[in-house]
Amino acid sequence: MSQTMEPKLDSIESRFAMHDRAQTVSATYDDSFECREGNWKIMRHKVTMHHFTPSPGVTLSPPV
């Protein structure tokens, strides 16, 4: 027997560098979960990208 949980909508904004270029990305994700034999698992993971923007002229410091 399985149980389901109401979908969870969350958002993320991240800034990162790739190939010496700074980027900003914003997205939401909508996860649905299901419990089978006492273990909760993601049964559906939907990501919606809102923007993926380069940041010209921005230099990020290397990791410490």
Q: What is the pLDDT of residue 7?
A: 59
Q: What is the pLDDT of residue 33?
A: 86
User: How do the pLDDT tens digits run along the chain, 64 residues long?
Assistant: 556 666 566 777 777 776 667 788 888 888 888 888 888 888 888 888 888 787 777 776 666 7
b/e sequence 30-61, b meaning 16+ C-beta within 10 Å: eeebeeeeeeeeeeeeeeeeeeeeeeeeeeee
pTM of the model: 0.52
